[in-house]
């Protein structure tokens, strides 16, 4: 308790401890939260075994440019999980970076990492958000950590970092829908799944863009503690998304959008652009527009890769 204020977790724990379950509906049926076409399974696919005692260490790898929702969404999920009859937090959360110097995440948020690569506890769940290009030391740490982790999960274009480790070679993965083409072009050894909220392949998991990380985190909770616990966490968060119960629920993004007259899209990432100011290139008699000079350069290097993909 700080300054006389009680956190939501403290309030929920106190209610559970004194039996006031009417205020905290741990018995909320999954059927009241899930849709009719998402029945509650009797067993969880690919279950994970939680420790008999103690917390599950969850590491969030951050650096300058880390996208806030990519790590804050899963962080909120894991910190909101409560196990009936248990007072302690089932997940131990901490941030890791190359140093403990403050980093600047997206939108200017400043974060002081808890640990460095050298002294961070070995994670059982490793969360990799979209962020700046990694160093060799970061890639080596991820490879090492993944060997003993139950789940190494990327969110959004954090999949690029995971791909750079080589761990995704020969496996299926997804990323932000605006990066499907570029990701497949850069990593042909990875089977890119479009329209997936998340993809699980062995002890690796990749989420789609941004808010998809919340669903993948809930899915990880489900694998450890079952659907009832995951449903309760989503309920307490007032999170009504159900993508964590259906990995194929991102079907709206399976087909890449295309430009129409007067409303061009960047051919590299599908972002809407202003034709009056956007960089552009002409290829085979057709003009293509880009959201940035970087994407123009990417296209100019191998234009057939992008044009063929969008036919």
Q: Who has greater pLDDT, 190 or 261?
A: 190
Domains 28-41+51-253 and 257-311 share a fold: no
Q: What is the largest CA-CA distance in the chain?
A: 73
Model confidence over 223-254: pLDDT tens digits? 999 999 999 999 999 999 999 999 999 999 99
Domain 257-311, CATH among 3.60.70, 1.20.1070, 2.30.170, 2.30.29: 2.30.170
Q: Report how far residue 4's alpha carbon sits from residue 15's, in angstroms, rounded to the nearest whole number.
A: 18
pLDDT of residue 13: 54
pLDDT of residue 262: 83
Model confidence over 264-277: pLDDT tens digits? 999 999 999 999 99
pLDDT of residue 258: 83
pTM: 0.86
The tokens for 56 are 């599950």
pLDDT of residue 27: 47
CATH class, 28-41+51-253 region: alpha beta
pLDDT band at 285 (very low <50, low <70, confident <90, very high): very high
The tokens for 37 are 């076409």
Q: Is the pLDDT of residue 11 over 80?
A: no
Q: Is the pLDDT of residue 26 over 50?
A: no
Average pLDDT over residues 135-150: 98
Model confidence over 192-216: pLDDT tens digits? 999 999 999 999 999 999 999 999 9
Alpha helices in the chain (DSSP H): 8-17, 30-33, 68-80, 136-148, 158-164, 180-186, 212-225, 227-236, 293-301, 303-309
Every domain of the chain and the residues it spans: 28-41+51-253, 257-311
Q: Is the pLDDT of residue 114 over 90?
A: yes
Average pLDDT over residues 71-93: 95
pLDDT of residue 85: 86
What are the CB-based long-range contacts (under 8 Å, 24+) for 191-194? Answer: 194/253, 194/254, 194/255
């Amino acid at each position: 308790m700080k300054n006389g204020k009680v956190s939501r977790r403290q309030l929920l724990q106190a209610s559970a401890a004194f039996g006031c379950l009417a205020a905290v509906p741990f018995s909320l049926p999954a059927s009241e939260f899930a849709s009719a076409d998402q029945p509650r399974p009797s067993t969880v696919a690919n279950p994970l075994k939680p420790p008999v005692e103690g917390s599950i260490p969850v590491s969030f790898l951050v650096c300058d440019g880390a996208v806030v929702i990519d790590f804050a969404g899963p962080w909120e999920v894991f910190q909101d999980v409560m196990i009936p009859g248990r007072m302690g937090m089932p997940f131990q959360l901490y941030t890791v970076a190359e140093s403990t110097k403050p980093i600047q995440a997206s939108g200017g948020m400043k974060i002081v990492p808890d640990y460095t690569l050298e002294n961070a506890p070995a994670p059982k769940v490793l969360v990799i958000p979209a962020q700046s290009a990694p160093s060799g030391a970061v890639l080596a740490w991820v490879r090492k950590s993944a060997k003993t982790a139950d789940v190494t999960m990327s969110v959004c274009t954090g999949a690029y970092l995971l791909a750079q480790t080589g761990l995704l070679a020969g496996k299926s993965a997804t990323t932000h829908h605006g990066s499907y083409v570029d990701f497949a072009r850069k990593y042909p050894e990875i089977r890119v799944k479009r329209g997936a909220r998340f993809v699980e392949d062995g002890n690796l998991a990749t989420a789609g863009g941004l808010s998809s990380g919340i669903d993948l985190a809930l899915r990880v909770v489900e694998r450890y503690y079952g659907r009832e616990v995951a449903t309760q966490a989503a309920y307490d968060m007032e999170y009504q998304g159900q993508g964590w119960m259906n990995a194929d629920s991102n079907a709206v993004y399976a087909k890449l959008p295309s430009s129409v007259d007067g409303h061009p899209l960047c051919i590299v990432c599908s972002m809407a652009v202003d034709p009056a100011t956007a960089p552009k290139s002409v290829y085979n008699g057709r003009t293509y527009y880009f959201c940035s000079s970087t994407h123009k350069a990417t296209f100019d290097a191998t234009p057939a890769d992008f044009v063929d993909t969008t036919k």
